[in-house]
């Protein structure tokens, strides 16, 4: 059984078709990143995989269960989401914020159990947030805040985690640090990651497979190295892209006019 299976997925908003006939499979313990130009349907795709949007056609199954048929509470124990622009409530401690990830386990009328608290403590420890546990989450720096959001998603103890542009607003060092944290979780805990990323270099370096979407459809899907070096990538972004090998890693650079003139 694959961790995520998307079959013939179509999502509409009013009369507009946002994605159409999208199919993809993500295996356990692997990382799949969705890339594509603005408006391609990346966010719609990952939000539908996370069960937050209704599809008009096709299905999304997580570990064999149809996401559309899962109740909210059950779904939250199967797939976790790191949104592009998380709402950070002022006045909430980092520990309480991360503990929100356990809501589906203890319910709305009961306090977190000892097991819930141990999961939260473990995640805080792993993500180097334990020293910040008592801090107001709204006072964290951008990098710390994004780690707290990731910690909340990891506290959901799901096999699948969906991230929509998790590196938005972070400097390069913090982008890499966050993605490395995630890669450790994939390698050590067998997590399945479905993410969207704008940075094609980072997307290629951290994902096992890339899915290139454009105008709501999958253009190309395959191992990261192949997709990054494909002609379809440049065509979708409507620009000349160069791939440079730096110590065995692919670096994608735009070959715009200023670059070629020099």
For residue 6, the minimal CB distance to other proteins (Å) is 18
> Whose Cβ is closer to other proteins: residue 15's or residue 231's?
15
Our CB check for other proteins shows the closer of 19 and 104 to be: 104
Closest distance of CB 20 from other proteins, Å: 23
Output 52 or 176, the one with its CB closest to other proteins: 52
Closest approach of Cβ 152 to other proteins, in Å?
A: 8
Q: What count of other Cβ atoms lies within 10 Å of the Cβ of residue 174? A: 17
Rg (CA), the chain: 19
- C-beta of 88 vs 234, nearer to other proteins: 88
- List of residues contacting other proteins (CB under 8 A): 47, 50-52, 71-77, 80-81, 83, 86-93, 96, 100-101, 103-104, 108-109, 134-136, 139, 152, 156
- Rounded least distance, CB 136 to other proteins, Å: 5
Of 20 and 47, nearer to other proteins (C-beta) is 47
Taking the complex as a whole, the smallest distance from the CB of residue 34 to other proteins amounts, in Å, to 17
Rounded CA-CA distance 77/127 in Å is: 20
Q: Which is nearer to other proteins, 76 or 120 (CB)?
A: 76
Tell me the closest approach of the beta carbon of residue 144 to other proteins, in angstroms.
Answer: 11
């Amino acid at each position: 059984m694959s961790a995520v299976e998307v079959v013939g997925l179509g999502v509409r908003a009013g009369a507009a078709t946002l994605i159409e006939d999208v199919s993809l499979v993500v295996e356990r313990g692997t990382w799949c990143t969705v890339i594509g130009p603005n408006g391609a349907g990346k966010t719609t795709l990952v939000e539908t995989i996370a069960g937050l949007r209704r599809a008009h056609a096709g299905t999304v199954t997580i570990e064999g269960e149809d996401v559309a048929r899962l109740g909210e509470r059950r779904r939250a124990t199967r797939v976790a989401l790191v949104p592009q622009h998380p709402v950070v409530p002022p006045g909430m401690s980092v520990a309480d914020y991360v503990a929100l990830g356990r809501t589906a386990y203890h319910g709305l009328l009961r306090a977190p159990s000892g097991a819930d608290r141990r999961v939260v403590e473990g995640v805080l420890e792993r993500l180097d947030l334990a020293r910040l546990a008592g801090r107001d989450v709204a006072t964290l720096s951008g990098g710390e805040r994004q780690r707290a959001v990731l910690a909340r998603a990891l506290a959901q103890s799901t096999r699948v985690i969906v991230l929509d542009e998790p590196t938005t607003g972070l400097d390069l060092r913090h982008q890499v640090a966050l993605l490395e944290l995630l890669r450790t979780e994939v390698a050590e805990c067998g997590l399945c990651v479905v993410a969207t990323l704008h940075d094609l270099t980072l997307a290629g370096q951290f994902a096992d497979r890339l899915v290139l979407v454009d105008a709501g459809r999958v253009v190309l899907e395959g191992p990261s190295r192949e997709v990054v070096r494909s002609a379809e990538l440049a065509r979708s972004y409507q620009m000349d892209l160069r791939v440079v090998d730096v110590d065995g890693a692919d670096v994608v650079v735009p070959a715009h006019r200023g670059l070629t003139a020099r």
